[in-house]
Amino acid sequence: MTTNPIAAVIFDWAGTTIDWGCVAPVLALQETFADQGISISVAEARLHMGLAKKEHLKSILNLVTVANQWILKHERSVTDNDVNILYSFLERKLLETVSSHSHLIEGTLPLVELLRKDGIPIGSTTGYTAEMMRIVQERAASQGYSPDVIVTPDQVKVGRTAPLMIYLNAVKLSAYPLSRIIKIGDTIADIAEGKNAGCWTIGLALSGNALGLTQSEIQKLTPIERTDLFAKAREQLFKAGADYVVDSIADCAPIIESIALRIKDNHRPSLYKG
């Protein structure tokens, strides 16, 4: 256990440390449904981003617009067998897309270097399976990023918004108490995971799912569009219960320092009200 007030920092992956805009899951989901003759929008694909991928798939199938398309095509409701078949398609699509969407987000390596210098362990959680993460992990390592621990939903049986992946991180990192751990992520599910574990949470509004735009798409926005969309992304994460919200991982260092000072003053993270 580190003597630093921060016991550990646990990062999400897509939209947080890699894949600006959290693109890979959206593409894979849209292609999976398109193969079945069903159209889902980007907004529908992003609605429950951050969940374990099978649960994410189920959440989309439960949307009225998608359920109605399914009934029109198959003349019946979705069955558990349908879910399993679709999930096998989704897994294959994700294995195809994650490799090309695993570029590190600017600011990741400097923050990791700072945490290493301060002796703070680095963990991670994700909605990706262990098989998917083997690809992502290799790509990230080739760019210089290797967290101390990677926990996937299939290691704990229950993914986000449950806190179990954070608990396993804490065990593997020997990091405690949970009120001295920081969870950083870009989705409502990330924030809920951190809050349910009793951790501090930092939401990333622009680099991931909250905004849901690539950097090139952001550059095409008008000033008025930027102001409106950026504000909505930040509000979404604050409403989810984030203790802090910043633009991207590049902005986290001063927030982590602020949390360390608050811990020294015996402050605790806010309670989850979701």
Domains contained in the chain, CATH given: 8-22+105-264 (3.40.50.1000), 23-100 (1.10.150.240)
Q: Which of 12, 19, 190, 243 is catalytic?
A: 12
Q: How many CB atoms lie within 10 A of CB 217?
A: 11
Q: Which of 53, 93, 183, 195 is catalytic?
A: 53
SS3 at position 214: coil
Residue 1 has pLDDT above 60, yes or no: no
Q: Quick: pLDDT tens for 190-235.
A: 999 999 999 999 999 999 999 999 999 999 999 999 999 999 999 9
Q: Quick: pLDDT tens for 108-127.
A: 999 999 999 999 999 999 99
* Mean pLDDT, rounded, of the chain: 94
Active site residue 53: yes
Taking the C-alpha atoms of residue 105 and residue 20, their distance in angstroms, rounded to an integer, is: 6
pLDDT of residue 161: 93
Three-state DSSP string of 158-210: CCCCCCHHHHHHHHHHCCCCHHHEEEEECCHHHHHHHHHHCCEEEEECCCCCC
The pLDDT confidence band at residue 2, using thresholds 50, 70 and 90, is: low
Residue 170 has pLDDT above 50, yes or no: yes
Does the pTM of the predicted model rise above 0.85?
yes
